[in-house]
Amino acid sequence: MTERIIISGAGGQGVMLLGKVLALAAMQEEKFVSWLPAYGAEVRGGAAFCMTTISDAEIGSPFIELADTLIVMNGLSWQRFHDRLKKNGLLLLNTSLIDCRPKGGFQLEAHPFTDIAIRLGKAQVANMVILGCLLAKTRLVAVESVLKVMEDMLKGENNKELLEINKKALKAGRDLVKG
């Protein structure tokens, strides 16, 4: 099994963190991983994407030409990456920030991820809502592995509230997927 994932959005949307958490969770499960971040010239608001590969075998290159899964968090990212998804691949689309009608040929999970995060109390956890949706749809890594990574990253009393809202966001994303 090899899963190639492109995660795209704007700086500040947690694109890199989503890919990194996924990669670290897969490492917890002793899978082979690569994580390739790419930033635009700007840090916040500019283009940001990363390529995360998870495999049972060694990974030859971190670069992904065609993704098995494409996560798109904003409209500019849709314009840039819409043709980088394999036929019958999985597309996770943030309808809070993207108003388009993608043509078929893939599995679609289109939800207002940012709006859900705002309802939870913090727009910045939209990335964890998306991750929850991805996990429920693919079972790529165990939720417990992701929670362990989150707990390791957000250790300490100062991060207790942030950890809790991220856990809620992860669950909200999982709840979006039917059966």
Among 7, 13, 6, 5, which residue's Cα sits nearest to residue 97?
13
Among 106, 143, 156, 117, which residue's Cα sits nearest to residue 6?
106
Mean pLDDT of 17-22: 98
- What H or E segment, with its residue span, contains residue 67? strand 67-72
- What H or E segment, with its residue span, contains residue 24? helix 15-28
**Is residue 134 scored above 70 in pLDDT?**
yes
Mean pLDDT of 24-33: 99
- The Cα 104–Cα 27 span in angstroms is 33
Residues with Cβ < 8 Å from 82, sequence gap 6 or more? 70, 72, 102
Looking at the chain, the whole-number percentage of residues with pLDDT higher than 90 is 87
Q: Which two tokens stand for residue 65?
A: 């030409």
21 in Cβ contact with 13 (< 8 Å): no
- The Cα 21–Cα 24 span in angstroms is 5
> What domains sit in the chain, N to C, each tagged with a CATH number?
2-175 (3.40.920.10)
Global pTM? Answer: 0.95
Q: What is the pLDDT of residues 40-79, one digit of tens each?
A: 665 566 789 999 999 999 999 999 999 999 999 999 999 9
Mean pLDDT of 131-156: 97
CB atoms near residue 11 (< 10 Å):
17
136-151: b (≥16 Cβ within 10 Å) or e: bbbebbebebbeebbe
**Beta-bridge partner residues of 52:** 5, 35
